Amino acid sequence: MRILVTGATGFIGRAFCKLALEKGHEVGALLLPSETPPVQLHENSKIIWLRGSLEAPPWPEVNAFQPQSCLHLAWIATPGIYLESPANEDFFNTSLTFATQARAIGVKHFCVAGTCIEYRIVDGLLSEIRTPIEPTTRYAKWKNELRLALETQNFPFAWGRVFYPYGPGEHPERLCSSIISKLAQREQVILKTPGSTKDYIYVDDVASAFLKILETHFLGIVNIGTGVGVSVREIASNIGHLMGTPELVSELKPARNDAFGNVVADAGRLRGLGWQPTSTLLEGLQNLIASRSRALPT
């Protein structure tokens, strides 16, 4: 399959491109003029780097690649900024234009990375069928607006609602990496919302989920999560023990409330496509610790 990928140099994008190439697919990766290809992908003959942006894609080169499918990952995702950034509306507009043009040049299957916080956050598993949609942030709102806009155009697409990815290559301010960095410097880690529970999914498993969606030509909405909730307390405790510094982890008392306190996927639809996670939480955290250790100053 020839797959066009936006956000190919991002956290999920790098993992997806690597896996797709390993599985024998050809990848046309959108690359900003200011970017350089990731080292692990640069020399693979089955990836074509298409220099341009979401606002100004290199359509002649894209058309020459003749993509059959497209995975759209490009969006703002900087921790502490992305949830309420005005840039979310810009990404909505450019994404809709991009999708329309991709369809015009012959892309038959379009898959977009949505977000789990499009849902109303309720007790229990979040279901594609039963859980109401109620975005409360700009990020979730404009993601959802894109889905609605594609639906009104009768566009054949899949919408993967990503839960909480983690793993090598993630932003250093994300939860797991920030804990690792502090413990590596033997700093105290005080958990502000220790009971907050999320569906953490290893980045390679996110990549395999998106590839499964494309390979099966799935259309519709599908949660990309494991179906298992893990608390911040469990994350920090596991990292502390793996790094030999459990005594540096403590909890704020009283703990603070988290508006997204229980965000766990009903993963039945994804598993029904034949997908299974390949990494346990401990394996994923070990891999992340090893990668962060190489990146941290000595």
Q: What are 99-145's pLDDT values in tens digits? A: 999 999 999 999 999 999 999 999 899 999 999 999 999 999 999 99
Quick one: pLDDT at residue 204? 98
Tokens describing residue 72:
């759209």
Q: Model pTM?
A: 0.96
Quick one: pLDDT at residue 111? 98
pLDDT bin (cut points 50, 70, 90) of residue 297 is: low
Q: Does residue 40 form part of some domain?
A: yes
Mean pLDDT for the stretch of residues 7-29: 96
How far is the C-alpha of 126 from the C-alpha of 200, rounded, in Å?
Answer: 14
* Mean pLDDT over the full length of the chain: 95
Residue 198 to residues 126, 173, 247, Cα–Cα distance (Å): 11, 17, 24
Residue 240 reports pLDDT greater than 60: yes
pLDDT bin (cut points 50, 70, 90) of residue 293 is: confident
How far is the C-alpha of 49 from the C-alpha of 166, rounded, in Å?
Answer: 26
Q: Does residue 135 form part of some domain?
A: yes
Mean pLDDT for the stretch of residues 203-213: 98
Nearest-10 Cα torsion for 143, 126, 288, 283: -150
Mean pLDDT for the stretch of residues 87-107: 97
> By percentage, how much of the chain surpasses pLDDT 70?
98
Mean pLDDT for the stretch of residues 160-173: 97
Strands (E) located in the chain? 2-6, 26-31, 47-51, 69-72, 109-115, 157-162, 164-166, 189-191, 197-198, 200-202, 220-224, 230-231, 249-251, 262-263
Quick one: pLDDT at residue 289? 97
pLDDT bin (cut points 50, 70, 90) of residue 295 is: low
Q: Does residue 101 form part of some domain?
A: yes
Quick one: pLDDT at residue 292? 87
Quick one: pLDDT at residue 40? 78
Q: Give CA angle at 69 (4, 270), nearest 5°.
A: 110
Q: Does residue 116 form part of some domain?
A: yes
Residue 160 reports pLDDT greater than 70: yes
Mean pLDDT for the stretch of residues 175-184: 97
Domain CATH code at residue 44: 3.40.50.720
Q: Does residue 45 form part of some domain?
A: yes
Number of domains in the chain: 1
Q: Does residue 154 form part of some domain?
A: yes
Residue 98 reports pLDDT greater than 60: yes
Q: Does residue 283 form part of some domain?
A: no
Residue 174 reports pLDDT greater than 90: yes
Burial of 103 (0-12, 13-18, 19+ CB in 10 A): middle
How far is the C-alpha of 28 from the C-alpha of 278, rounded, in Å?
Answer: 26
Q: 27: which DSSP letter?
A: E
Q: Does residue 298 form part of some domain?
A: no
Closest among 259, 288, 75 to 174, alpha carbons compared: 288
Tokens describing residue 158:
């899949």
Domain boundaries, position 90: 2-167+200-225+266-277
